[in-house]
Structure 1
């Protein structure tokens, strides 16, 4: 299975949001209720329009395309959003569809978004697959945690860092 990685553009917004929504359903079904996913699907048009300007940048907004040209993964990064990490790189998100698990796509997206640079990220505490992926790629929890807002089911999150 071959993949092409490239910088996303505003024209990719619809396909990217649809893929991102599917990825959320695949990886968070054990954490969030069906109503969460129904609300995400109901807000697709709004989320697509909100995503267009976000993709109009030179900062890493990487998408992975399969052999048919369908988006099957994404990764994005930029300046740290936490006050104590503002001068550092943050991996904002990385998602692949479950059909690509084990293919090496996640590692390729990680490299495209942050390289081997020191970085931080946030991950749901109860997401062992993601945590194992990050640990395999040099990240470790730094002891900082928080709880998402009610929009994301008040999920506990851990910050992980790579020096």
Structure 2
């Protein structure tokens, strides 16, 4: 079982590298291959460093570590609506990714347990997350954990430089604690 701990600034490069590799493996069937191949861990590390530096409670980033290496991460905080306004009493799992070679090892479960516990300790008893609709592996994981589809969906652009492609459908799950 991996060690779960709060992320530090020195974890950003490993978090970013795992995040990119996770996207490349998990979304290979759903996103353009040239988009996935062009993902740059260095760019993602800059964003992660900024996010870690401005933690505002209950925002937190946790990492799963095995053999001294970061193998996954989860980012949590207050749920924000379409206008980026934090919602009282509602938390969000903003990201949860594990390096593909560590899938099905318990790392994701340990990260989710820690994330949910942290949010509940902050008084957030309704916890939401968004997931690409065509991501059966992640959706199955969330459902086994107890998250339920809540009927909300949205279309999101793939990313910068890919505006010519149709947006990707995301669905929302909610967990009540």
Do they superpose with TM above 0.5?
A: yes
Structure 2 residues not aligned, in runs of 5+: none
- In 2, distance between residues paired with 1:30 and 1:73? 21
Match in the other structure for 1:27: 26
Deviates more, 1:91-100 or 1:57-66: 57-66
> Alpha-carbon deviations, 1:4-25, whole Å to 9, x = none?
1111111211111111111111
Work out whether residues 17 and 47 of structure 1, in 8 Å CA contact, stay in contact via their aligned partners in 2: yes
Deviates more, 1:145-154 or 1:73-82: 145-154
Structure 1 residues not aligned, in runs of 5+: none
Match in the other structure for 1:155: 168
Under a length normalisation based on structure 1, what TM-score does the superposition of the two structures give? Answer: 0.88
- Detail structure 1 runs of 4+ shifted over 6 Å in the superposition: none
Q: 1:31 to 1:155 in 2, by over 3 A?
A: same
Work out whether residues 130 and 173 of structure 2, in 8 Å CA contact, stay in contact via their aligned partners in 1: yes
> Alpha-carbon deviations, 1:51-110, whole Å to 9, x = none?
21211236320011111x121111111000126971200010111122222222111100
- In 2, distance between residues paired with 1:51 and 1:109? 17
CA-atom RMSD in angstroms: 2.0
Deviation of 1:148 (Å): 1.1
Deviation of 1:142 (Å): 0.8
Q: Which has the higher strand share?
A: 2
Secondary structure class of the residue paired with 1:76: strand
Number of matched residues?
159
Match in the other structure for 1:39: 38
